[in-house]
Amino acid sequence: MSKKKGRDISGIIVIDKPLGLSSNQVLQRVKRIYGARKAGHTGALDPLASGVLPICLGEATKFSQLLLDSDKAYDTTARLGEVRSTGDAEGEVFRTAEVPALTAGQVEAVLSRFRGEVEQVPPMFSALKMDGKPLYELARQGMSEAEMRAVAEKKRRTITISELTLNDQRERELDLSVRCSKGTYIRTLVEDIGAAIGCGAYVSHLHRTGCGPYHSGQMISPEALEQLAEQNCTDGVQDYSELDALLLPPHTAIPDWPEVALPLAEAAKMLLGQTIKTGLGDATSVQLWAVESGVRQMIGIGCIEGGVIRARRLMQVTLPQL
């Protein structure tokens, strides 16, 4: 059996996902640039969306699910007066309506209804599955709007909108900033706001500005990465040093988790699957670090229960010999 090709490089790079590409296309592009053996993204963005897309390489992929479960932030534009099949600019126009003259106060009164915990019905054009099939496949089978909504209704869920701000208002458009919990569909939020106004709405622009602790100020474009790779390639031999310097350490995905420092001997036991006794109080989520004689190396994440440290996810690391 042949070994998988690629470098065992670990870290997180915050990509500025361009319009027109799927998240997986961007993932494969970054994986190729880095020559990485293993890579994963942290929550898909639609091809019509841009912005923050953290890509995890190597051992950092063990933190992908934590970022999938984290809060997200978006800037979006709601185009008023139309309801579309996909909830965005690509969809078929289901119906149109006159847009009422709205004051900022009236818009704010509507937005206030969508802050906090709210119920959402996912859009039909989503990757959620019904009877083993993604909803977007069912939606493309010629269902009527009523049939599509009946299927999506079965996937109703409660999400949290922690921030919803009106940034700008034009005759037929609202520019909004949103911070929300995992599983929130901005297309559905915009549709629901349009329904509350009484004229319908769809997403004409969507840009993610934050994913967990990562933000737009940390982004780099795939094009910039490719240019850097080209500048550091001589006679077909790639120098990865400048690319690797851009990678953020895996622990930056969980900056608020408390750290547990373990002597090398105890860290080695944990890497073998053993538990460690401790006098520390209970904690549901902790970073596990090997710390001794100038050595400081993350070995995974875990929890503390009843005076015992247990590992939840361990990284493939080699501890130094003292």
233 vs 131, residue with greater confidence: 233
The answer to whether position 6 is within a domain reads no
How many C-beta neighbours within 10 Å does residue 93 have?
11
Say if residue 2's pLDDT is above 80: no
d(CA 302, CA 311): 4
The answer to whether position 291 is within a domain reads yes
Q: Catalytic residue numbers? A: 46
Contact 221, 263 (CB under 8 A): no
The pLDDT of residue 5: 83
The answer to whether position 107 is within a domain reads yes
Contact 14, 52 (CB under 8 A): yes
- Tokens at 102, concatenated: 């709205």
What is the Cβ-side half-sphere exposure of residue 31, based on CA atoms within 13 angstroms?
17
237-247 burial code (b ≥16 CB/10 A, e <16): eeebeebeebb
Q: How many domains does the chain have?
A: 3
Mean pLDDT of 222-244: 96
State the DSSP code for 203.
E
The answer to whether position 59 is within a domain reads yes
| Same structural domain, 218 and 207 | no
The answer to whether position 194 is within a domain reads yes
The pLDDT of residue 130: 61
The pLDDT of residue 125: 64
| Same structural domain, 91 and 181 | yes
| Same structural domain, 91 and 203 | yes
Residue whose structure tokens are 């240019």: 227
Q: Where are the alpha helices (DSSP H) in 102-185?
A: 104-111, 135-139, 145-153
| Same structural domain, 110 and 24 | no
| Same structural domain, 263 and 226 | no
| Same structural domain, 187 and 297 | no
How many C-beta neighbours within 10 Å does residue 70 have?
19
| Same structural domain, 204 and 277 | no
The answer to whether position 130 is within a domain reads no
What percentage of the chain exceeds 70 in pLDDT? 90
Say if residue 72's pLDDT is above 70: yes
The pLDDT of residue 153: 73
User: Whole-prediction pTM value?
Assistant: 0.89
| Same structural domain, 227 and 295 | no
Model confidence pLDDT, tens digit, residues 268-315: 999 999 999 999 999 999 999 999 988 899 999 999 999 999 999 999
Q: Which of the four pLDDT bands, split at 50, 70 and 90, describes residue 151? A: confident
Domain that holds residue 23: 11-69+214-250
| Same structural domain, 178 and 112 | yes
CATH code: domain of residue 282:
2.30.130.60
- Tokens at 105, concatenated: 């106060």
The domain boundary, picked from 250, 277, 300, lies at: 250
CATH code: domain of residue 78:
3.30.2350.10
State the DSSP code for 38.
-
The answer to whether position 150 is within a domain reads no
Say if residue 135's pLDDT is above 90: no
| Same structural domain, 98 and 174 | yes
Say if residue 242's pLDDT is above 70: yes
Say if residue 129's pLDDT is above 60: no
Q: Which of the four pLDDT bands, split at 50, 70 and 90, describes residue 126? A: low
| Same structural domain, 171 and 290 | no
